[in-house]
Amino acid sequence: MANSNQHFCKDYLVLKPEQASIFDLVRILYSSDIEKRGFIECIEPGNLRAFRRRWLLFVSVLAQKLLLYLEKPMSWTGYIVEMWLNLLSSNGGLGMLLLNLLKGSAAKPERSSAAFRSIIAAIDTRLALDGSISNSDNRYGASLSMMAAKLSYENEAFVEAIVEHRWKMQFLGFFNFWNDYEEKASTTAILFKDNTSNLMVVAFRGTEPFNADQWRTNVDFSWYELQGAGKIHGGFMKALGLQRRTGWPKEIGAPSGTPPFAYYTLREKLRDLTREDEGAKFIVTGHSLGGALAILFGAVLVLHEEAELLERLEGVYTFGQPRVGNEQFGEFMKEKLRLHDVKYMRYVYSNDVVPRLPYDDKTLLFKHFGPCLYFNSRYKGTVLEEEPNKNYFSLLLAIPKSLNAAWELMRSFIIPYIKGPEYKESWALRLLRVVGLVMPGLSAHFPQDYVNATRLGSFSWQVDRQDAAPQQGYKCD
């Protein structure tokens, strides 16, 4: 079942849902003849014959097929929801919109304008940085990173306006990157610089709520094993710029006109910027899928032995990040990050389902690495080796998770009176909290609570370091 297109790695598992029929999916449940399934490509099919492994492959392929069918309906739903929200905001609410429609003077939102907000910005409307956290505060990196990760969901004009005019920082670029496997642009990132601290920020966009392709990446259990590094999630690597035939060559020598790839383009941009300013450093961040791309960006820098850039890499901050590799990869990264003195801050809020995927068990082999900066629903932080309920789907915890979601809904009405008006939640977020009564892990994943965690909780410098041992029960300020 080997394919010459994958010769850059010694072992791999590639799932191809577009080639799987319903009959194929049914057969995988009762037949262990994995090598006869054309939608599964791997080196050692015998390792997948156990029923539990076939079941998880079935779930992954089925979910991806459903998302393939839902791609257009989801896209149109997202378009309608965003246009409606912006129509309301640009006309001053529902009452003014109806009045303007009667007058024939209703303002029409432009998706590329600096005033147009994504669904993410409608859910959490905050745009200002926390004025109480200065760039000398040890919370600054995390606070700035989370706001950058949230801002990366917006359009270019919006991002530039906020960075330049609201944050008083230098806007350095907005990028849409090519996926060599999907043969289309699938990855977005922003780059800006805080000149007061001489710190650049690379922020990868996370999973957009109505983007079926990005959700497919999240539920794709494909992986590639890179020699000396371990097994790494295939979907995330493809989004970062994995080359179809050559994997991760140090240089790709792409001819003029070739679409840009995330890793290679950003690496060259950072090389130029750090050579122009010898004192500049940078951090990499992202929420959800963006968090996975952020840590893998650092991983490929390590693979390519980019010593100069790693010396300038101050830290990687991820929020609600899914697992990206196996235990071997985790040990490889811990050693390399320690060697280059790079901080890795992995934030997890309460019952967020995404950091608990893909499964951490003997079947899928995915594992987190480094300390987990875990916050409960009261924003009390603890440094742990692993977030509680690490695989999420536990019948014993179903009721506690729903009760916690009910508390989060109630909290949304009282938090502005306790913490201040900037913590007032939008009606869109409160509606999401209601959905969370049924699906707590989904409502806990959105940026609002991660922004709150970086502002209302803090960690001392010594536990920020990559080599700091997680301490069970350590409480944050």
The overall longest dimension of the chain from CA atoms, in Å, is: 70
More confident residue, 181 or 69: 69
**What region does 416 belong to: left with phi over 0, alpha with psi -120 to 50, or beta?**
alpha
Query: Residues of the chain with pLDDT > 70: what percent?
Result: 92
Whole-number mean pLDDT of the chain?
88
Find the helix or strand (DSSP H, E) in which 309 lies.
Answer: helix 307-312
Q: pLDDT at position 259, please?
A: 78
206 pLDDT band (50/70/90 cuts)? very high
In angstroms, the CA 347 to CA 150 distance is 14
Q: pLDDT at position 146, please?
A: 97
Average the pLDDT over each of 165-174, 219-228, 330-339, 414-423 and give the range with the smallest value. 219-228
Q: pLDDT at position 10, please?
A: 77
Which pLDDT tens digit goes with each residue over 255-309?
Answer: 566 779 999 999 999 999 999 998 999 999 999 999 999 999 999 999 999 999 9
pLDDT higher than threshold 70 for residue 80: yes
Give 235-240's long-range contacts (Cβ < 8 A, gap of 24+): 236/289, 236/292, 236/293, 236/296, 236/322, 236/324, 237/296, 238/179, 238/180, 238/181, 238/182, 239/177, 239/179, 239/186, 239/187, 239/289, 239/293, 240/187, 240/293, 240/296, 240/297, 240/300
Q: pLDDT at position 273, please?
A: 96
Which pLDDT tens digit goes with each residue over 102-116?
Answer: 888 888 889 999 999
In angstroms, the CA 179 to CA 243 distance is 9
Q: Which residues are annotated as catalytic? A: 288, 352, 445
In angstroms, the CA 156 to CA 151 distance is 10
Q: pLDDT at position 173, please?
A: 96
pLDDT higher than threshold 60 for residue 30: yes
Which pLDDT tens digit goes with each residue over 53-68?
Answer: 888 888 889 999 999 9
Tell me what the mean pLDDT of segment 466-474 comes to.
44
Q: pLDDT at position 7, please?
A: 63
pLDDT higher than threshold 90 for residue 445: yes
Q: pLDDT at position 472, please?
A: 40
pLDDT higher than threshold 90 for residue 365: no
Q: pLDDT at position 461, please?
A: 43
16 pLDDT band (50/70/90 cuts)? confident
Let me know: does 374 contact 335? Beta carbons within 8 Å.
no
Q: pLDDT at position 185, please?
A: 86
Domains annotated on the chain, with CATH: 134-204+260-464 (3.40.50)
Question: How distant is the alpha carbon of residue 288 from its chain centre?
Answer: 2
